[in-house]
Amino acid sequence: MGIERGQYVLLYHSESAKYLVSFIPNKALHTHLGIVELREDLEFGDVIKSSKGKLFYVLRPSTSDISMKVRRTTTIIYPKDAGWMILEAGVGAGSKVIEVGTGSGALTIILAKIVGPNGKVYSFERRPEFLENAKQNVEKAGLAEIVHFELRDPAVDGFGVKDADAIFVDVPEPWTLAQAAHDALAGGAAWVSLSPQIEQVKSTFEALRGAGFVRLKCVEILEREMLVRDVGTRPKERMVSHTGYLVSARKVKNA
């Protein structure tokens, strides 16, 4: 089946030469490995030879590819952290979730892909320039219908959402949102947040306990890739190490 106009395509030569592009028939992509022409009848799995004779493979991009390639105005949540957060929150198709700290929209895209067309992502951001960029990134990913964006500080004004299945928090002061999150979540629903500093975690734990959350947990995820070769297989010299501390908790009803 042919690739639809506007659909994301990953043109892959190697890990150092890969390009996420929106498919436009007969478009020419200029790279340091030559010009890559996207013919009209292109299909996933095809191989394209550039003008310099280099091979590019036409691949379906992963959700990780799309989230990592968004236009950034902020730091983003890495896939290694997003995966743990989603599994810990227990969300899936049809879930209603809240995101605080839209940023560049990388996590927004991941959440929208997870909840699908029958779910909803309510995304809150305080900075209008961040929100506008995130909207554009989500639209390019074809997920705009699943996401409701709000320019609002929920720590001050609340969420205006009830019985959400989970809340994902990525702001400098997550503890200020503990009570508003408790009000917005369904009973037993999950809080998950990311903080780069352990002092932030301590304040968050204290606020969550005070607001009526239990089963508090904090972890750190490290990712190390392996160099697999005929001789000398070993870990890579570089790794994705500390990006943040992840906190999870569950809402219980007030006694």
Predicted local distance difference test score (pLDDT) of residue 244: 96
Do 163 and 154 contact (CB within 8 A), yes or no? no
Predicted local distance difference test score (pLDDT) of residue 102: 95
Predicted local distance difference test score (pLDDT) of residue 255: 52
Q: How far apart are CA 144 and CA 110, in angstroms?
A: 12
If asked whether residues 74 and 149 sit together in one domain, one would say yes
Per-residue pLDDT, averaged over 93-109, amounts to 96
If asked whether residues 100 and 147 sit together in one domain, one would say yes
Q: How far apart are CA 211 and CA 206, in angstroms?
A: 9
Per-residue pLDDT, averaged over 153-178, amounts to 97
If asked whether residues 133 and 236 sit together in one domain, one would say yes
Per-residue pLDDT, averaged over 47-55, amounts to 96
Per-residue pLDDT, averaged over 186-213, amounts to 97
Pairing of strands 47-49, 8-14: unpaired
Per-residue pLDDT, averaged over 55-73, amounts to 92
- Report if residue 117 sits inside a domain: yes
- Report if residue 217 sits inside a domain: yes
Q: Which of 41, 61, 81 is the last residue of a domain?
A: 61
Number of domains comprising the chain: 2
Do 253 and 188 contact (CB within 8 A), yes or no? no
If asked whether residues 37 and 91 sit together in one domain, one would say no
If asked whether residues 42 and 75 sit together in one domain, one would say no
* In 51-174, alpha helices (H): 63-68, 79-89, 106-115, 128-140, 154-157
CA angle 181, 183, 185 (to 5 degrees): 65
Q: Could you tell me the residue range of the domain that residue 143 belongs to?
A: 65-251
Per-residue pLDDT, averaged over 40-69, amounts to 95
If asked whether residues 76 and 195 sit together in one domain, one would say yes
Question: Encoding tokens for residue 63?
Answer: 């959700």
Grade residue 73 by pLDDT with cuts at 50, 70 and 90. confident
Q: How far apart are CA 49 and CA 37, in angstroms?
A: 9
Do 213 and 249 contact (CB within 8 A), yes or no? yes
* In the chain, alpha helices (H): 63-68, 79-89, 106-115, 128-140, 154-157, 178-184, 198-211
Per-residue pLDDT, averaged over 22-48, amounts to 95
If asked whether residues 92 and 46 sit together in one domain, one would say no
Grade residue 34 by pLDDT with cuts at 50, 70 and 90. very high
Per-residue pLDDT, averaged over 230-251, amounts to 95
If asked whether residues 123 and 25 sit together in one domain, one would say no
If asked whether residues 217 and 150 sit together in one domain, one would say yes
